[in-house]
Amino acid sequence: MDKTPPKVSPAALIPSTPDAASLLIPSAAPAANVPAEASPEVPLSSSSSAVSKPEDRFDKILKGLTQKATAKQVVYRNVQAAFALLRQVTQTLVAELSRELGPVDPSVIIEYRPVNEMEFHIKFYGDLLMFVLHSNIVTLPNDYGPMSSDYVKADFRRRFFGHIMVYNFMADSIKYQRLDDQGYLVGLLLVDIENHYYLDGVQQLELPAQDIATDLVTAETMRLLVESAMIAAVNNDLLAQPIEDLEKITLKQKLENQQVCHPKKVGFSFARDQA
């Protein structure tokens, strides 16, 4: 009896081949029990703790603006108010003097001359007083005037002052534009954050005893300054140039100057210089 061999499918005759994935990617080997290599640590910068935080710098700026800048703004407003009061008192005084002098000698004229919001003048006889408000707030050396007082030491804000200066010029220096003529500082008014004042000036002002801890800016204070400055200017006579300076001149000197002779004030001595 013939035995018929079993039928074999054609696919069974083809040897099996691995799929594409098995050819390209080898099977992962089983993980060995080996500790993983530790990654190196990156040290932090040692200087990071030494640098101040932005918040610290911000606080310093804010503190400086709050304390110093704000204080200076208050001082400036105070000295502006003092200058406005000084201007008002000056106008009143000039009107009073003109009213009294008119019947006596009409040729004697006293004038108040506004210049701008920072300056005004008084013209009388051959003199001119310039009152000037400075735009900056300043502090002063520790050995000057009120700086060593307990009042100033008690509050650092009291070290800042607005200041008003009073200069004495010859009236003809302005009239003829003699730019080389000298003027003299007659008085210096300092105003602080509490609206207290300190008045420095020449001996001729004959200032009363002062105490910045109690002296407040008032209309009476401003009038004292104006009257004292006028008295000092009137009593400061003109001094002629030496004759030797007038013996010979060039034509250029004559043409450049409307007047050959340039008298000048005798000058002043500040009270502190005589101490």
- DSSP letter for 158, please: G
Asked if residue 64 is part of any domain, the answer here is: yes
Asked if residue 200 is part of any domain, the answer here is: yes
Q: CA-based angle 222:227:229, to the nearest 5?
A: 95
Helix (H, G, I), strand (E, B) or coil at 77: helix
Helix and strand numbers (H, E) in the chain are: 9, 8
Beta-bridge partners for 245: none
Asked if residue 221 is part of any domain, the answer here is: yes
- DSSP letter for 69, please: I
- pLDDT of the chain, 275 residues: tens digit per residue: 455 555 544 444 444 444 444 434 444 444 445 454 444 454 544 444 455 566 688 888 888 787 888 999 999 999 999 999 999 999 999 999 999 988 888 888 899 999 999 999 999 888 899 999 999 999 999 999 899 999 999 999 999 999 999 999 888 777 877 777 778 888 899 999 999 999 988 766 777 788 999 999 999 999 999 999 998 888 876 555 556 665 666 777 666 664 545 555 444 444 455 44
Could you tell me which of 130, 129, 121, 136 has the C-alpha nearest to residue 80? 136
Asked if residue 8 is part of any domain, the answer here is: no
Asked if residue 238 is part of any domain, the answer here is: yes
Name 219's Cβ contacts closer than 8 Å, sequence gap at least 6: 85, 88, 89
Asked if residue 48 is part of any domain, the answer here is: no
Residue 129 has which token pair? 């007083």
Domain that holds residue 74: 56-274
Q: 0.85 exceeded by the pTM? A: no
Asked if residue 114 is part of any domain, the answer here is: yes
Number of domains in the chain: 1
Asked if residue 44 is part of any domain, the answer here is: no
